[in-house]
Amino acid sequence: MKHIMTIRHSLKSILQGVCYVLILSGGSSAFLGNCFASDDSQFYTDEVKPLLRERCYACHGALKQEADLRLDTGDFIRRGGDSGSAIDLTSVESSLILDRISDPDPALRMPPEFEGEPLSAKQIEIIRQWIANGANAPADEKPEDDPKDHWAFQPIVRPKTPVANSDWIQNPIDAFVAAGHQKHGLTPQPKADRLVLLRRLYLDLLGVPPTSAEIAAFEEDTSAEWYTKVVDQLLDDPRHGERWGRHWMDIWRYSDWWGLNKQLRNSQKHIWHWRDWIVESLNEDMPYDEMVRLMLAADELHPTDSDKLRATGYLARNFYLFNRAPWMEETVEHVSKGFLGITLNCARCHDHKFDPFDQEDFYRMRAFFEPYLVRQDLVPGETDFSRDGIPRVYDALLDKPTYLYIRGDERTPDKSTKIEPNVPTVLAFDELIVEPVSLPPEAWQPERRDGVLNSYIADATRQFEAAEEKLLKLRATQEISVTEETNVSQAESESAKTELELCELEFAVAKVALESVERRVKAVKASWDDADSESAHEAIRGERQLAVAKAQLELAKAQQKLTNAKDDQKSNAKKSVTAAEKVLAEAQTKLNKPISESETFTPFSGAKWSATRFLSSGKDDPPPSTPSTSTGRRTALANWITDRRNPLTARVAVNHIWTRHFGKPLVPTVFDFGRKGLPPTHPELLDWLAVELMESGWSMKHIHRLIVTSSTYRMSSTKIGAETNIEIDAENRFLWRRIPIRLESQAVRDSLLALAGTLDLSMGGPPIPSAAQAKSNRRSLYFFHSNNERNQFLTTFDEALVKDCYRREQSIIPQQALALTNSELVLDASKQIATRLSNTHKADENFIREAFRQLLGMNPNAEEIAASQQAISAWKSLEGKTNLDARVNLIWVLVNHNDFVTLR
């Protein structure tokens, strides 16, 4: 019967396709009527309703009823709206709905011009024929659910754990999964063997496979707790933070800076401080809600804590030089998608077409971020931002208004209404209170922070000591030269004298510079206490003296240049001397002038500002000052996002964690939990995990431990013996087996280096630049990663996209096979792996067994061992090839095996 219905439906589809061709070519209306007359209600269900849902429900459904018209049921269509019924059964062509969807005037036609393309002739004909045949619809048709009742907008309540009599159940996760098995007649696959589980855990939690010693140690452990011991050990391993740090960096859009040549146009230099904060926070098991709060508002919550301020790299990464509008839009979009799983960006130009968010909701959310800018704070011991600095955010534009852009066009802001920060009404559970934050002086006067002024003194001291050491060495060298050389020419003597004079002037500059810095530091500290102006005057004199010393050095260099110049260059050299003399004269004149009360000394830079064209009307405009208060807007937003009553945050977080453990999310549309997205496959399990996350203190390690110790996680991935399961649930919707996962690009590369014994386990620090990556053995996490610079090997294996990567692609392309076959990385690693294994496994059979275990996570069977031995023998027989060469070939083959890049 099932096959008959399928054939009938196929014939119907073919017949309708023929009809559409005739429609577009002017076919007979009588014949066309017969095409659709057989089952009018079914035609409505199959053709009309999907069309209306796609093109009309956004304005005429449960979400909104423009002109009081709903089109989500046949009854509503017949009832009509303010203009009467949408259809006229007595005169099809007089039907209002046909008139509006086929109107040639774009200003009158529906959908409106700015909402998308008009309906096609084929789509219009579907509506026409449905009306002509009586506009029938199922009698029991139900309207759309109220958008506010959507599952993701409901409070999270811990569901009751199902009761199942099964030894298979290890924790509540299994109880929910077992309930699905029982309901659908499925039998879970048996537990994977110990070696497979060990490799799965290592790659899943650390991103590298276990070593031979680790495999042996756990195989020798016969205790019942061996598995939980491994789990606890790996969760405490610092490599866990690196592995899962990369996962969250995908979601949170980590990117090093990029631009044109050396111009910073996107993200921030030294953004790696945020990356290190992520890794450290995960290793410390910092609560997820605290991580979110710090990323959004650490500058308001902990304004003087540099370690925590690193977290605001999340927002600093969004920086975009040329236009503030895209900066703000991307911030709203990805805060909404990354933390809340909603596509609020769809409301930038108009009310959301599927979810109960109006256009103002987008701009209310933008208003939270309107005041913020980005700057870099000095790190202890550093005074040069080109070498290092902590990118962080702060509120600078306290009075900057937010306006709604008409149809999303920044050129047409609606200035009649100032938009205040707030959250979408459907997600509000309490009145949002925004309270300004008074900042301590160290926050808005960065030079007050511990170590900043001392860093300037230390830097000037190092330069002074270097100049002094250089001068002393030169004097000693020349004294020896004068003593030993008796035939020194006049020219050589003059050259040596000039070199010494320049060195003495350089020393003088360094000495005066140190004195100037010390005076400025004293003056700065005096200004904090409103002391008298004498220290400020001394600082000004010190700067004037430094200007004279520098000018004297530049004049001496110019005179040396003139002396050494050839005839055709003398004119330019003379100009340089003249210019230097002028600078020196001006500096000496200024040195002797009295100091006026209006004069100030040069302040120390405690922060470097990220300029934006939005702020600057000219290239010489000063940077904005740092206010002594912050708006408190982002704190209010962060508290709302992480509130226990927020229905989205915990669900989104556990869905991301589940996805990366199992390769398949509980909510397939990981960044869209709205009505346009797909519903959860296991809603009760999702909510149980969300509550568990919150009630565990938002501990992600707790969720990891629950997941990996479940029987659901430990199942085999094989389909062997599962014919009944396959017939019932071929797509494994109800989790009766483990799904193999293709390893991410970083895990592929890092595994090669780990197996070769060359992986550099040092953690943190600046990224490895592109030019140095080929020779680097650092984890792939530390490679420079931007829109302009992406490592070729990693990109081949679906590296994270820079602009958004809520879920990695898992492509299969020829270049991947070529990379594993020919890349220098693989060829070098194959030799190193073979050498390592050969040192402890002399017999070929033992070598083969260990190679399979190390690289593929499996014990080879007799057939595989025999084939490998035969291959090694064949390779050894080739002219000039050694036993090691043959073993290298075998390793190379295993690296190219599918299971090397697959987590089973």
Q: Contact 515/456 with Cβ under 8 angstroms?
A: no
| Higher per-residue pLDDT: 634 or 813 | 634
Task: Calculate mean pLDDT across residues 400-420.
Answer: 95
**How many beta carbons lie within 10 A of that of residue 713, not counting itself?**
22
| Higher per-residue pLDDT: 488 or 880 | 880
Q: What is the pLDDT of residue 428?
A: 95
Q: What integer best gives the mean pLDDT of the chain?
A: 89
Residue 490: which residues within 8 A CB-CB, separation 6 or more?
none
Q: What is the 3-state secondary structure (H, E, C) of 330-389?
A: HHHHHHHHHHHCCCHHHHCCCCCCCCCCCHHHHHHHHHHHCCEEEEEECCCCCCCCCCCC
Task: Calculate mean pLDDT across residues 587-605.
Answer: 88
3-state SS assignment for residue 391: strand
Residue 520 has pLDDT above 50, yes or no: yes
3-state SS assignment for residue 10: helix
Query: pLDDT, tens digit, for every residue of 88-127?
Result: 888 888 888 888 888 888 878 888 877 778 888 999 899 8
Task: Calculate mean pLDDT across residues 592-615.
Answer: 83
Determine the Cα–Cα distance for residues 617 and 269; give it in Å rounded to an integer.
24
Burial of 644: CB neighbours in 10 Å, binned 0-12, 13-18, 19+: middle
Least trusted range by pLDDT, from 16-20, 759-763, 803-807: 16-20
| Higher per-residue pLDDT: 466 or 41 | 466
Query: pLDDT, tens digit, for every residue of 465-500?
Result: 999 999 999 888 887 766 665 566 766 777 788 888
Q: Return the structure tokens found at 582.
A: 């002028």
Task: Calculate mean pLDDT across residues 811-822.
Answer: 90
Query: pLDDT, tens digit, for every residue of 863-875?
Result: 999 999 999 999 9
Largest Cα–Cα distance in the chain?
Answer: 123
Residue 853 has pLDDT above 90, yes or no: yes
What contacts 24+ positions apart, CB below 8 Å, involve 728-737? 728/184, 728/185, 728/186, 729/184, 729/186, 732/664, 733/681, 734/177, 734/180, 734/181, 734/184, 734/186, 735/177, 735/180, 735/188, 735/662, 735/682, 736/181, 736/186, 736/187, 736/188, 736/189, 737/188, 737/189
Determine the Cα–Cα distance for residues 21 and 27; give it in Å rounded to an integer.
8
pLDDT band at residue 261 using 50, 70 and 90 as cut-offs: confident
Q: In what order do the strands lie in the sheet with 372-377?
A: 390-395, 372-377, 607-609
Residue 419 has pLDDT above 70, yes or no: yes
Q: Spell out a b/e string for 493-516, using b for 16 or more CB atoms within 10 Å of the CB, else e.
A: eeebebeeebbbbbbbbbbbbbbb
Determine the Cα–Cα distance for residues 178 and 182; give it in Å rounded to an integer.
6
3-state SS assignment for residue 105: coil
H or E segment and range at residue 263 = strand 263-266
Task: Calculate mean pLDDT across residues 894-899.
Answer: 95
Nearest alpha carbon to residue 765 among 277, 202, 130: 277
Q: What is the pLDDT of residue 488?
A: 60
Which amino acid makes up residue 546?
A: L
Q: Return the structure tokens found at 123.
A: 């789509």
Burial of 230: CB neighbours in 10 Å, binned 0-12, 13-18, 19+: buried
Q: How far is CA 96 from the centre of its chain?
A: 49
Q: What is the pLDDT of residue 295?
A: 98
Query: pLDDT, tens digit, for every residue of 664-713?
Result: 999 999 999 999 999 999 999 999 999 999 999 999 999 999 999 999 99
Residue 332 has pLDDT above 70, yes or no: yes
Determine the Cα–Cα distance for residues 394 and 627; give it in Å rounded to an integer.
9
3-state SS assignment for residue 450: coil
Q: Return the structure tokens found at 143.
A: 């309207």
Before 860, cis peptide (omega within 30)?
no
Residue 585: which residues within 8 A CB-CB, separation 6 or more?
none
Residue with structure tokens 């620090």? 765
Task: Calculate mean pLDDT across residues 184-205.
Answer: 96
Residue 12 has pLDDT above 50, yes or no: no
Q: Contact 825/803 with Cβ under 8 angstroms?
A: no
Radius of gyration of the chain measured on its C-alpha atoms: 36
Q: What sign has the CA pseudo-torsion 814, 817, 819, 821?
A: negative
Burial of 551: CB neighbours in 10 Å, binned 0-12, 13-18, 19+: buried
Determine the Cα–Cα distance for residues 854 and 197; give it in Å rounded to an integer.
13
Residue 149 has pLDDT above 70, yes or no: yes
Q: What is the pLDDT of residue 532?
A: 64
- β-partners of residue 438 are 629
Query: pLDDT, tens digit, for every residue of 723-777?
Result: 999 999 999 999 999 999 999 999 999 999 999 999 999 999 999 999 999 999 9
Percent of the chain whose predicted confidence (pLDDT) is above 70: 92
Q: What is the pLDDT of residue 79?
A: 87
What are the DSSP calls for 809-849, one per residue?
Answer: -----HHHHHHHHH-HHHHHHHHHHHHHHHHH--SHHHHHH
Percent of the chain whose predicted confidence (pLDDT) is above 90: 66
Residue 570 has pLDDT above 70, yes or no: no
